[in-house]
Structure 1
C-alpha cells in the first residue's frame, strides 16, 4: 500500500484521533477498497505521515486486529483481514424490491395507533401530578442518605426491598383497608408491568378477558400483547354495576377500577362491590383491581379497596406511586393471594429482574418518616381547589357546548361533547399547547361517545382559564364547519 492512501483521512479535534483512524480504515476494508491480504505501512510511518502519536496508531490498529478487520503476522506486518466484504453495517444495503419482515398481529395493531406523545407534559395532560408541590427537599435529603448505604449498590431480591414492602403493607392496611402482609407484595416497574405480569401468569394466548368499557387503554394493550380476546363490559358515569356482568363467562380474568373508574370517575357502591366479588367467586374469574387515583377523594375519606372486603377473594390488587409521588419514579406494586406469589416472582425474574434498589429504599423511608401521608393530605386539598376552579370555568364558559362527568375525586375531569370529532378536537387542542385525550379512545366497538378528558393536576389557574377558552373556540369552530 502506498502511504498516500492514508492522506485521505481528514482528522479533526472534535473526536478522538484513535476513533477517527479506526473508522477510516474499517470503512476502507468493509467497502472493499482495501482488499484481503493488502499490507499496511508500519505504525511508525503512519504516525509520522499523519502527524499523530504512534501510541494512537498502535491502539487503533490493535482494535482493528481484535475485530478482524486486520490481521497481524509476526515478523511480517499487518494485513487486511479475510471475509469482510460488505460486512460493515454502512456497506449493507437492503434490497428495495423486498418487503420488510412482517410484524405480529399485535405489532400491526400498534402501528395503526396514533403516536402516544407521552414525552409532553402540557397543561391538562392526564396522569401528571402537580410536580411543583412535591416536597423535593425532603426527598433529596432521604435519597442522599440512601446513596451512602453500600448494601443498596448490589442485588436484593426480585420481590422488592423488604423495608418498602413492610412500609407499604402497613400503609395499605390502614389507608386502603387492604388485607395483606409484606410477603404478599411484589414491587414492579410501574402499574403497566403489574398488568403485564397478571396477563403472563394467568392467561394463555387467545383466552377471554373482561374489560371495562370505557376503560384504560394501557391495560387493554398489555392484555392484547398476549393475544387475549377482550370482551367489553359497559360502564356508565356511576361506575360498574353487577347487572352489566355476564351471568356465565369463559373469561379467566377481569380488569376493574372500582374505587375511581377510569376515565369516567364513577365509584362502585359497597353492595355492588360485594356482588362483583360473589360473581367472580361463582364464575371462577380473577379480578385485577387497579386502585387508580383512589387517594384523591375530595369529600370524606378515600373509598376502601375491593380486595379487603372479603377474607378470601380472587382479587389481585395493584397500584403505583406515579400519581401520588411522581411518574419518573416508575415504582408500582401488586398485592397477591399467597399461592400466586411464587409464580409471579418467577415471571418477574424472567421479564426484567429486580426493581431499582436505591429508589425503593428512598420511598420506604419517605413513608416511614410520615412524608407520604402529609404529602397526600396536602395534594387532596390542592387538587380539590383545582377541580372546583375548573368545574366553575366549564359551567360558565362551556354551558350548552359540553357536559361534565363530574365526580369529586381524581386528577382529571371528563367532558362529553356531542357532535364533534373528538380526535381532531384533541389534536387541535394539543397544537394550541394543551394536553387531553379524546373520550372515544377509551371505548371498544359500538357507538362511541365524543368528548375529551382533561387532567387538571399539573395546571395553574391561568392555564386552566386559557385552556377552557381555547376549547370553547375549537368546539364552536367545529360546529360551524
Structure 2
C-alpha cells in the first residue's frame, strides 16, 4: 500500500496554516499527484513532517472528508477517495508537466494595477531579465580574471568583525566612502568628500532615491533616446512627464536642447559614454549643458556607468567635476569593474542637499550590507582595485580589438559596427532582422546580447545588438562571428 510523501509541501509560518495545508492537499488530489486509494500518513507523522499542530492537521482532514476527497477506513487510516467531486466552485487548479502543483484563486475580482504595473505586465519584452553569465552579455566583466583569492582573504578577515555586524550608517561604511572619494577625485575628477557620497544597492537604487527626492507628479524629465530602458520605466512608475532627447552621432545636440527651452526638473544622461550608442560629449558641449542646467534650474543625473574601460580614448573627466556645486547627481557602480553580484554602487550629491538624499536612502532601504562594504574598502585601500583596473584595461583592449576586427572583416554588409564603444558595450546594426528574435536565438545557442530596439522609445526603432566581449575567449569570439554570419545570410 502506497503511503503518500508530503515532504515537498512548503508551509509559510507567516500565513494561515490551515488554509495553506488545505490548498496544498486539495491541489495534489486534483492534479492526481495523490492518486485514488493512496494512504495519508497519520496525523502525528504529518504534524512532525510539516511542523503543524495535530489539531490543524485533523481539521483539514475532516474538511476534505466532508467534501468527498478523503475517506476513512476503520482501523486502517485515511485514504484518497476514488470518487472525488467533478468540480469545485470558485477555485482554479493547474499542474505542470513535472508534477508540480499550483493553486490560484479566481482573478476576476482582483483590484487594478497601476498604469506602470499594467505597462510592464503587457510588455512584449521582459525588462526584468538581467544579463545571464553568457559570453557576449553586455556589461559583464571577465569574472575568471577577477582576483578571487585576494577578495576571499579579505572576506575571511572581515567575517567575524562585530563592529560590522549591525545596521550601519545609511550613507555607507565610512572607510569605504573615504577611499572611494579619493579614487573618484584622482581618476574621474569628481568634486566630492565622504560627507556627500552615499553607498547604494546599485545604480537603480541611486536613481530611485533621486527621483523620490527631486521629482513631483507631472514634472518634466528629459531622457536620451535610445537610452537606458530601466531608467525610463522607473520614471514612468512615478507618473512624471517624459520627453525624449534624440541621439545624433552617438550623443545629443546640446544646442538643440537649449533652443527648445524645456522647463524640465531632471535630465538623465550618460555624457561620458552614451548608453547604448557610445558617444562622448565634447568639452564645449559639457560646459554649455552645465550653464543651461544652472540657468534652467534643472538637475542632471550623470550615469558614469563605464568610465574605467574606454577602448579608443583616454578616459574623459566626469561632467560633475567641471564645476563645484553644479546641479549634478553623479552615479557609478562596481558591477562592471568588479563583479555584478556585489550589487554596490554610489551616488555623489551636492553637499548642501546631501541630508535629504541620505534620509531618503535610510527610509527606502536602509544601509547596504556592511560586510561587503568593509571588504571593498580594504580591497581599495590595499591597492588591489587600481591594480585590477589597470590589468583589465590591457586584457579588455586585446579582446576588443580582436572582436571589432572580426566584425568588420567577416560580417561586412550583413551587420555594421555602429558603435565600437567599450569591451563591455559595443553595438552592431542588423538591418532587416528582428533583433529580439535574433537575441533569443543567440541565447539558445549560448551567447548573450541585448536587442538594440528595446532601448528606443516610441515608434522609430533601429535593429541591432548590444554586445560585450570582456567575458569572452578567442575561440568564443570566432565561434560567435561564424554563427552570426551564417544566421544573417540565411535570414
TM-score bin, normalised by smaller chain: 0.7 to 0.9
Aligned partner of 2:205 among 193, 210, 234: 193
The match for 2:468 is 455
Instruction: Give deviations 1:396-426, integer Å, cap 9, x for gaps.
Output: 1111122112445351210122222222222
Q: What secondary structure does 2:422 align onto?
A: coil
Aligned partner of 1:319 among 327, 332, 349: 332
Instruction: Give deviations 1:143-188, integer Å, cap 9, x for gaps.
Output: 1101121111112111100000001000000000000000000110
Q: What secondary structure does 1:209 align onto?
A: strand
C-alpha displacement at 1:371, in angstroms?
0.3
Kept after mapping to 1: 8 A contact 2:423/2:468:
no
The match for 1:216 is 228
The match for 1:297 is 310
Which 5+ residue runs of structure 2 have no aligned equivalent?
A: 12-16, 26-40, 68-87, 92-103
Range with bigger deviation, 337-346 or 190-199: 337-346
Task: Describe the shift of the 1:475–1:347 C-alpha distance in structure 2 as closer, same or farther (beyond 3 A).
Answer: same
Structure 1 residue 135 and structure 2 residue 147: aligned? yes
The match for 2:114 is 104
Task: Describe the shift of the 1:456–1:30 C-alpha distance in structure 2 as closer, same or farther (beyond 3 A).
Answer: closer
Task: Describe the shift of the 1:379–1:281 C-alpha distance in structure 2 as closer, same or farther (beyond 3 A).
Answer: same
Task: Describe the shift of the 1:30–1:285 C-alpha distance in structure 2 as closer, same or farther (beyond 3 A).
Answer: same
C-alpha displacement at 1:69, in angstroms?
8.4
Task: Describe the shift of the 1:12–1:181 C-alpha distance in structure 2 as closer, same or farther (beyond 3 A).
Answer: same
The match for 1:405 is 418
Instruction: Give deviations 1:426-473, integer Å, cap 9, x for gaps.
Output: 222222221111211111124222211111111111111111111122
Structure 1 residue 441 and structure 2 residue 454: aligned? yes
The match for 2:273 is 260
Taking structure 2 as the reference length, the TM-score comes to 0.80
Question: In 2, Cα distance between the equivalents of 1:15 and 1:220?
Answer: 41
The match for 2:133 is 121
Range with bigger deviation, 189-198 or 402-411: 402-411
Q: How many residues align?
A: 431
Task: Describe the shift of the 1:64–1:312 C-alpha distance in structure 2 as closer, same or farther (beyond 3 A).
Answer: same
The match for 2:444 is 431
Kept after mapping to 2: 8 A contact 1:26/1:64:
no
The match for 2:241 is 229
Question: In 1, Cα distance between the equivalents of 2:42 and 2:224?
Answer: 69
Instruction: Give deviations 1:124-145, integer Å, cap 9, x for gaps.
Output: 1111111001000000001110
Q: What secondary structure does 1:245 align onto?
A: helix
Kept after mapping to 1: 8 A contact 2:198/2:346:
yes
Question: In 2, Cα distance between the equivalents of 1:433 and 1:407?
Answer: 23
Range with bigger deviation, 229-238 or 149-158: 229-238
Question: In 2, Cα distance between the equivalents of 1:307 and 1:231?
Answer: 23
C-alpha displacement at 1:11, in angstroms?
6.8
C-alpha displacement at 1:206, in angstroms?
2.5
C-alpha displacement at 1:329, in angstroms?
0.3
Kept after mapping to 1: 8 A contact 2:222/2:245:
yes
Question: In 2, Cα distance between the equivalents of 1:56 and 1:235?
Answer: 64
Structure 1 residue 147 and structure 2 residue 159: aligned? yes
C-alpha displacement at 1:95, in angstroms?
6.5
Kept after mapping to 2: 8 A contact 1:438/1:453:
yes
The match for 2:291 is 278
Aligned partner of 2:383 among 348, 370, 378: 370
Question: In 2, Cα distance between the equivalents of 1:448 and 1:60?
Answer: 55
C-alpha displacement at 1:30, in angstroms?
5.8
Task: Describe the shift of the 1:268–1:410 C-alpha distance in structure 2 as closer, same or farther (beyond 3 A).
Answer: farther
Structure 1 residues 88-99: aligned runs within 5 Å: 93=91, 96=106, 98-99=108-109
Q: What secondary structure does 1:205 align onto?
A: coil
Q: What secondary structure does 2:223 align onto?
A: strand
Instruction: Give deviations 1:22-64, integer Å, cap 9, x for gaps.
Output: xxx9579969x9xxxxxxxxxxxxxxx96979x969x968x46
Aligned partner of 1:470 among 483, 486, 489: 483
Kept after mapping to 2: 8 A contact 1:266/1:407:
no
Task: Describe the shift of the 1:189–1:15 C-alpha distance in structure 2 as closer, same or farther (beyond 3 A).
Answer: closer
Kept after mapping to 2: 8 A contact 1:285/1:314:
yes
Instruction: Give deviations 1:218-255, integer Å, cap 9, x for gaps.
Output: 21122112112211111123423312314311210001
Kept after mapping to 2: 8 A contact 1:26/1:69:
no
The match for 1:179 is 191
Instruction: Give deviations 1:319-353, integer Å, cap 9, x for gaps.
Output: 01000010000101000011221111221122111
Instruction: Give deviations 1:95-144, integer Å, cap 9, x for gaps.
Output: 64835432211011111222343262221111111100100000000111
Question: In 1, Cα distance between the equivalents of 2:197 and 2:421?
Answer: 30
Instruction: Give deviations 1:295-318, integer Å, cap 9, x for gaps.
Output: 102345311000010123100000
Kept after mapping to 2: 8 A contact 1:242/1:276:
yes
The match for 2:173 is 161
Kept after mapping to 2: 8 A contact 1:237/1:405:
no
Kept after mapping to 1: 8 A contact 2:226/2:455:
yes
Q: What secondary structure does 1:235 align onto?
A: strand
Question: In 2, Cα distance between the equivalents of 1:211 and 1:314?
Answer: 16
Task: Describe the shift of the 1:326–1:300 C-alpha distance in structure 2 as closer, same or farther (beyond 3 A).
Answer: same
